[in-house]
Amino acid sequence: MKKICMCALLSIAISGIVPVAAQQKKPVKTAPPPTKNAAVKEESAVVKDEVKVAKAGDGFKNIAWGAPLSSVRGGILGKMVYTDEKKVIVSRDGDIEYLYGFLYRDPAITGSAGGEKEAKADASAVEGRLFFVAIRFPYLGLNEVRKKIQDTYGPPTGETIKDNQGALVWDSEKTTIILWVDRYEKKPFSRKITYVSKQMIRELENYRNEIFNSAEMEIIRKLAP
């Protein structure tokens, strides 16, 4: 299997766009997973009823990649608990948390190619546009979550798992799905799935190149995990 090529970029992208205020909101409870037979029974029930695997076409569920934040608000899953109106919407449905991330091109930094008058006439030109959705849920056994995704999309196209920690990836034409893997008591568990727009990731890279010069970009690449 080929290695995931965008995990490092995604981690930097997410850390860069999600405001501190959003990160400080009450997180989904992710206590260490239960063990023994009780864990197997509980995992099966939660995976069946709670972990929603979206159809990954040109977007997430019924929302297209690149959709402006204002239009995404009405189509999110669960109940909205936070938004900064520019880069992020956080919603919850029971123990599941959804983080909708948006690429926001700050006109104060990049300027407007068409001038101030044109920018005001077209609000979507500066409004954040959807480029990833992350789903967090209580710890579940990796095999349970992997099977649910695999039943929809087939075998993973890549992985970076080592010592029961890393990620599995399902790569399609317009969307990449990443199932993150955590090690607990030497066994693989999962608590997060991320859906990413491949086109928007390329736009994010271009935006970063507008903000940072080549020397600064080289430093950023060295900081990538």
Task: Give whole-number Cα distances, 195 to 119, 130, 136, in Å.
Answer: 30, 11, 12
Least confident of 116-120, 127-131, 180-184: 116-120
Q: Considering the domain boundaries, does residue 33 fall inside one? A: no
212: pLDDT strictly greater than 60: no
Q: Considering the domain boundaries, does residue 31 fall inside one? A: no
Question: Please, which pLDDT band fits residue 62 given cuts at 50, 70 and 90?
Answer: confident
Please give the residue range of the domain that contains residue 54: 7-22+44-223
CA distance 168 to 189: 12
CA distance 191 to 28: 10
Q: Considering the domain boundaries, does residue 171 fall inside one? A: yes
| Alpha carbon 183 to its chain's center | 20
Give the total number of structural domains in the chain.
1
DSSP code per residue over 24-64 = TSPPPP-PPPP-HHHHHHHHHHHHHHT-----BSSEETTEE
Can you tell me the mean pLDDT for 190-204? Answer: 85
Q: Considering the domain boundaries, does residue 35 fall inside one? A: no
Q: Considering the domain boundaries, does residue 66 fall inside one? A: yes
Q: Which residues contact 51 (CB under 8 A, 6 or more apart)?
A: 96, 135, 137, 140, 145, 148, 193
Q: Considering the domain boundaries, does residue 32 fall inside one? A: no
Q: Considering the domain boundaries, does residue 74 fall inside one? A: yes
Least confident of 108-117, 149-158, 205-214: 108-117
CA distance 158 to 134: 19
Can you tell me the mean pLDDT for 80-87? Answer: 94
77: pLDDT strictly greater than 50: yes
Q: Considering the domain boundaries, does residue 184 fall inside one? A: yes
